[in-house]
Amino acid sequence: MEVYKKVRAYIEKNGYKQLAVAQRAGISKVTFNAMMNGKRTMYADDLRAVCLALNVSPELFIEVPKNC
């Protein structure tokens, strides 16, 4: 599953509003909405900002090989 889909599912599952997450992450609502709909790439800096806003580790949304 793509990272943006995992982020979107997490936000929905935990009852967060996308606008609130976007604001806390410092991302415009238009840009955030485009990322959550797969119309804009979610770059590493974007993911970092979203994870900080949600107070979660990026590893929640990406698979990190155990041998790294």
Architecture of the domain whose range is 3-59: Orthogonal Bundle (1.10)
Tens-digit pLDDT profile for the chain (68 aa)? 899 999 999 999 999 999 999 999 999 999 999 999 999 999 999 999 999 999 999 999 998 777 76
Both tokens of residue 30? 């238009």
Q: Are 4 and 36 in contact (CB under 8 A)?
A: yes
Q: What is the pLDDT of residue 68?
A: 61
Both tokens of residue 7? 């982020």
Please name which of 6, 8, 34 lies closest in space to residue 21, comparing C-alpha atoms. 8
